[in-house]
Chains A and B, each alone.
Chain A
């Protein structure tokens, strides 16, 4: 069920401003691909183009192709809503729905999509998703309590459970650990390791060690200067990027001699 993503010649704009320029890469199925790079280089923008969330921003516009196996996400007649059902997303800040309980948060993707589903079946999906997000043991006795009452790390795992409950093919994560403490971060990193058996995972991170720990392949993004669009510098196996990158700028960034 995991799918390969093939991006070719992709540029994204905010109004007249070009945020990323001509990016081409392949994301392998059932693997973790990490995006690293300085702030403002377009990692998050690029990530959001992969499930057509970029165009939700007023003025957001995309040129180029994103192939999910053999379907172009930006082809004519493609419904962004069904793209987002196939390519799920976890955000930087945990954002459970404040009006909903833990159970309803996990079930939200199914219920809000209008799926008629039997209660027992839905119970099963919720349990499976919470187990998949390593949260089941902590919340199984208080599923009817508000999701906003959990700790930050638990909320983020709740959001992951919510995202995987709709069974996407690809899971995009935009700095999922940047608001969390080291213990919660570890829990989420372990979880990513488990989830890659089932999903194609793309993660944006500012934490070099995290990229080295969790990812199979790493892409380094950079920008020529303030106001310039971000570019993909290189993408390679994580080991190579961190030991022997082929571009000098990558080595400079990773070793901290940047700029």
Chain B
């Protein structure tokens, strides 16, 4: 510790080392807050004075002022090293703010506009018999569609993805494993519309099946699989090899070792990965347009006939282009965000519940 603080190599004290300067002047703890307030005030002042009409510009001016002020003041009082430290800290904080601003404003906007028509009736009614220019109607048929399509897609993709990941981590050696990894990577980049076109030409045109939720599920499953494989693979790789060896050395066969030791150790992360994949496909609209066709009425059977889904519903309502349908689109967007958020919370809950415990 001491050698860090005593041998501060600046130009001034390069020649003879100063006698152990453990104490250096420090700025008071409230300095960053005070500087931030000052910079903000100055930014607003300049913005108003110069008559700029974009508040984003005011914020940018304030940010530049803050960084400059902090660096200059700290360099004067505390020295160059601390000044650089504070510079890096403020840059990290600013990047954080820049990342958070769109997120917060997105949620703010959706909640503000979506809560207008979101109520029990909206959640429990379909659009059957409602004209798009009329207020009223609801999202029930789309919720049913999303739940069924995403549920079936998960039921297809999760086991396949899980087993593929187990093969890659525990068994795969050589050319086949490399090929599988390569194609999983390629599949990660497949656009959803291409997955939709594939199922359309294969399932609906070639095999002559009608539009159905199940056709959409198959396209969603194609999109989910690589995500599940990738995340599960990473989680399985995190399981220490010592645990596998400990189990094998007890005379446990390899498949049981994987089933009873490796998977339980990684199950929290695997569940999180599957849930993230679900969240990703829950917002897909392109394959739904192609394969499920969309519908105004409730259709509980995913294997027969057209259905709707939340992202498709949002698109459809927005395309209708009048005030009542805009309101419905925002409310449906809020429902979709809530759906994804609940899934994420569930995944986190599972991860925490199943995490290896180290408590005494």
Contacts and interface: CB of A to CB of B under 8 A. Distances in A.
A112 B265 contact: no
B357 A81 contact: no
Contacts of B244: 56
A112 B242 contact: no
A83 to B, nearest CB: 8
B245 A53 contact: yes
A223 interface: no
Interface stretch (A26-34, A70-78, A90-98, A201-209): A90-98
Contacts of B260: 111-112
A145 B357 CA distance: 9
Contacts of A56: 244-245, 248
B256 A112 contact: yes
A98 B265 contact: yes
A53 B251 CA distance: 10
A85 B252 CA distance: 8
A114 B251 CA distance: 11
B249 A163 contact: yes
Instruction: With a 10 A CB-CB cut-off, give which of A96, A108, A142 has the most chain B CB atoms.
Output: A108
A81 B358 contact: no
Contact of B242 (A83, A91, A114): A91
A89 interface: yes
Nearest to A90: B249
Contact of A112 (B245, B257, B358, B359): B257
A69 B342 CA distance: 61
A185 B244 CA distance: 25
A85 B247 CA distance: 11
Contacts of B261: 97, 99, 112
Given A95-B240, A112-B252, A58 B359 contact: no
A162 B250 contact: yes
Interface string A48-82: 00010100101000000000000000000000011
Given A146-B357, A146-B358, A149-B357, A97 B243 contact: yes
Nearest to A109: B250
Given A99-B264, A99-B356, A166 B250 contact: yes
Interface residues of B, number: 26
Chain A binding site: helix, strand, loop or mixed by DSSP?
mixed
A84 B257 contact: no
B170 to A, nearest CB: 11
B251 A98 contact: no
A53 B358 contact: no
B306 to A, nearest CB: 45
A109 B251 contact: yes
A113 B251 CA distance: 7
Contacts of B251: 81-86, 88, 109, 113, 166
A27 B265 CA distance: 37
A159 interface: yes
The bracket for how many chain A residues form the interface is 35 or more
B360 A53 contact: no
A78 to B, nearest CB: 13
A112 B250 contact: yes
B23 interface: no
A86 B257 CA distance: 17
A130 interface: no
Nearest to A114: B256
Nearest to B358: A148
A98 B357 CA distance: 7
Contacts of A109: 250-252
Instruction: With a 10 A CB-CB cut-off, give which of A98, A109, A162 has the most chain B CB atoms.
Output: A98
Nearest to B264: A99
A136 B242 CA distance: 24
A65 to B, nearest CB: 21
A258 B120 CA distance: 83
Contacts of B253: 81
B173 interface: yes
Interface in B309-360: 354, 356-360
A150 B245 CA distance: 20
B48 interface: no
Given A97-B261, A99-B265, A148-B356, A85 B243 contact: no
Contacts of B358: 98, 146, 148-149
A159 to B, nearest CB: 7
B173 A91 contact: no
B246 interface: yes
Interface string A132-149: 000000000010011011
Interface string A112-138: 111000000000000000000000000
Interface in A147-171: 148-150, 159, 162-163, 166
Interface string B223-262: 0000000000000000010111111111111001100110
5 smallest CB-CB distances across A and B, nearest first, come from A85-B251, A98-B356, A89-B249, A109-B250, A84-B251
26 contacts: A56-B244, A81-B251, A81-B252, A81-B253, A82-B251, A84-B249, A85-B250, A85-B251, A93-B242, A95-B240, A95-B245, A96-B246, A108-B250, A109-B251, A112-B247, A113-B251, A113-B252, A145-B360, A148-B356, A149-B357, A149-B358, A149-B360, A150-B360, A162-B246, A162-B250, A163-B249
Interface of A: 51, 53, 56, 58, 81-86, 88-89, 91, 93, 95-99, 108-109, 111-114, 142, 145-146, 148-150, 159, 162-163, 166
Interface of B: 173, 240, 242-253, 256-257, 260-261, 264-265, 354, 356-360
Given A98-B243, A98-B356, A145-B359, 7 more contacts: A56-B244, A84-B248, A88-B250, A91-B242, A97-B243, A145-B360, A166-B251
